[in-house]
Amino acid sequence: MKCPFCGHAETQVVETRVAEEGTFIRRRRQCGACEKRFTTYERPEVTFPVVVKKDGRRIDYDPAKLRASFALALRKRPVSTEQVDGAVERIEEKLLALPSREVASHRVGEMVMRELKKLDKVAYIRFASVYRSFEDIDEFRALVDEVQVRK
């Protein structure tokens, strides 16, 4: 690794630490020429599949958008941040495990619905009512009946 101060090509690692619950490694390095110290970070590179929208557009997976969907559905509901984090992690694990490098947006939506159904029935109905864009009250009633039957 080149020294950011003098550009010398030889640096020595003087300290290595695992940081933030093991998600990356922090290394303190010292330049062999100017002897200044600097820090580098080593993180795993993960590539999520590209999301294919209904109209055929392809967009990069955005974890912020996924979290925003959960936040909107769970607004004013008694669900902890840790529970939401767990749900997002499970969805991301499923996305990373997919054999394809593309995933249809409706498939991501179905994953969100499954997680919401486990977390909070009201949030599940909120999300489903927008996601499935019901045409009449009977479709909505069927969804509510489905949730009530499974109690």
- Closest by CA to 116, choosing from 132, 107, 128, is 128
SS3 47: coil
In a domain, 129, yes or no: yes
Instruction: Kindly report, residue by residue over 37-57, the tens digit of the pLDDT.
Output: 999 988 887 889 999 999 999
In a domain, 128, yes or no: yes
Q: Name the residue range of residue 130's domain.
A: 50-149
Instruction: Kindly report, residue by residue over 109-148, the tens digit of the pLDDT.
Output: 999 999 999 999 899 888 887 777 677 777 777 778 877 7
Contact yes or no for 19/25 (Cβ under 8 A)? yes
| Domain tally, the chain | 2
In a domain, 83, yes or no: yes
pTM: 0.65
Instruction: Kindly report, residue by residue over 84-117, the tens digit of the pLDDT.
Output: 999 999 999 999 999 999 999 999 999 999 999 9
State how beta strands 102-104 and 37-42 pair: unpaired
Predicted local distance difference test score (pLDDT) of residue 151 = 53
